[in-house]
Amino acid sequence: MTQTINLQSLKVGFIGGGNMARAIGLALIKRNILNPKNVWISARTRETLQNWNQLTSENPVNTTLNNADIIINSDIIFLAIKPQSLVLAIEDAKKTSEGRNLMLNNKLFVSVLAGVTLDTLEKEIQLHLGQQLPLKIIRTMPNTPLSIGEGITVYSRNAQVSESDALPVVKMLSQIGIIEEIPENLINSAGGLAGSGPAYAYLMVEGLADGAVKTGLPRALATKFAAQVLVGAGKMVLQTEKHPGQLKDEVCSPGGTTITGMHALETGAVRASLMNAVDAAVRRSKELGA
């Protein structure tokens, strides 16, 4: 029997109110997937919270400077901070709990911290909150296009998280993009592509548009066409399920304009540069985790 989940009743909190929290949280609120009355946001500065208050002025969320409020008032807790800020954030939750029982046994932590393993997450949370009970943790690597419903999230869960436990998170995030469970040892590799990939795509859009502007096309049209080229090409790969190389060959007529352009790209080592970019991002993710 299919498990019924009422996402509107979920109590969801974000420790950290920055770019990734906004990409996920605002998308879920704007699409009426979560009830803003049940959403909590913490941040280090009042300016960040004021930004949230402005963005959700019609349907306000709960904002706080105390991380303990997030743990106390949420069933699902997104750790949406930088990897190097994990210990400070958890220590702050302990300090600002003011004797209140944080009751972690029924909480589900969802990490978006690049490079930080499930084992490390559990040990650090247990250590700095002074509680040794097993924790339910999901490690994710999302990307910012979640904000427009076109994102990617890959995730792994620790032994304490059953499929049933993970289902609310999977159902939530599947509303704003695609989501795939993968072995944890592949998370960094997926992050180097899915997590960092939008930045590489923006660079390609800018470069293609610059090329068109150089030959006389107005900037606005050039940018619009370059962005649509990436959208259309991506959908062709997904919907036809053809190999990208085959689709490329179908555009390259013998002696034509496209194969001439392809030669220019290969001369500039674009393919190798993209491979190097993903590889560098994966290596950096591992460094952050260490």
Residue 20 assigned ligand-binding role: yes
Please tell me the distance from the alpha carbon of residue 38 to that of residue 59, in angstroms, as a whole number.
Answer: 11
Residue 172 assigned ligand-binding role: no
Residue 99 assigned ligand-binding role: no
Residue 143 assigned ligand-binding role: no
Per DSSP, the residues of 111-143 read E--TT--HHHHHHHHHHHHT--S--EEEEEEE-
The answer to whether 34 and 11 are in contact (CB under 8 A) is: no
Please name which of 61, 138, 86, 67 lies closest in space to residue 107, comparing C-alpha atoms. 138
Residue 83 assigned ligand-binding role: yes
Q: Which amino acid is at 44?
A: R
Residue 18 assigned ligand-binding role: yes
Residue 255 assigned ligand-binding role: no
* 3 state DSSP class of 64: strand
List helix spans (H) across the chain.
19-30, 46-55, 67-73, 86-96, 118-129, 163-174, 187-190, 197-214, 219-240, 244-251, 257-267, 270-289
Residue 151 assigned ligand-binding role: no
Residue 67 assigned ligand-binding role: yes
> Binding site residues for NADP(+), as ranges?
15-20, 80-83
> Binding site residues for NADPH, as ranges?
67
> Binding site residues, as ranges?
15-20, 67, 80-83
